[in-house]
Amino acid sequence: MTYKIEVKPKAIKQLKKLPKDISERILKKVILIKDTPQSFMKKLESINIWSLRVGDYRVLIDLQEDKQLLEIIKVGHRREIYEDI
């Protein structure tokens, strides 16, 4: 099943701050996984958030299977992405 993709305003700001080639890679990867997202992402422990690896960057996604929705909530470098979640 194909999932719908939504991007939170905070994640849009974070994407705009990244170099253009990095943000394009991230968006291409998200589009690539929309048919079978679980096989490309890792579920974080103790919270219902999934992490997608794109090189040194991570995309935190709220996977809502009942709504067939991938909601991008945070984008950033792997050293900083897991702070404040």
Question: What is the tens place of the pLDDT at every residue in 24-56?
Answer: 999 999 999 999 999 999 999 988 899 999 999
- Which pLDDT belongs to residue 84? 84
* Interatomic CA distance for residues 83 and 57, integer angstroms: 14
Average per-residue pLDDT for the chain? 96
Instruction: Please give the DSSP secondary-structure letter assigned to residue 81.
Output: T
pLDDT band at 79 (very low <50, low <70, confident <90, very high): very high
Q: 4-77: which CATH number, 3.20.20.10, 3.30.2310.20, 3.40.50.300, 1.20.1420.30?
A: 3.30.2310.20
Q: Is the pLDDT of residue 72 over 90?
A: yes
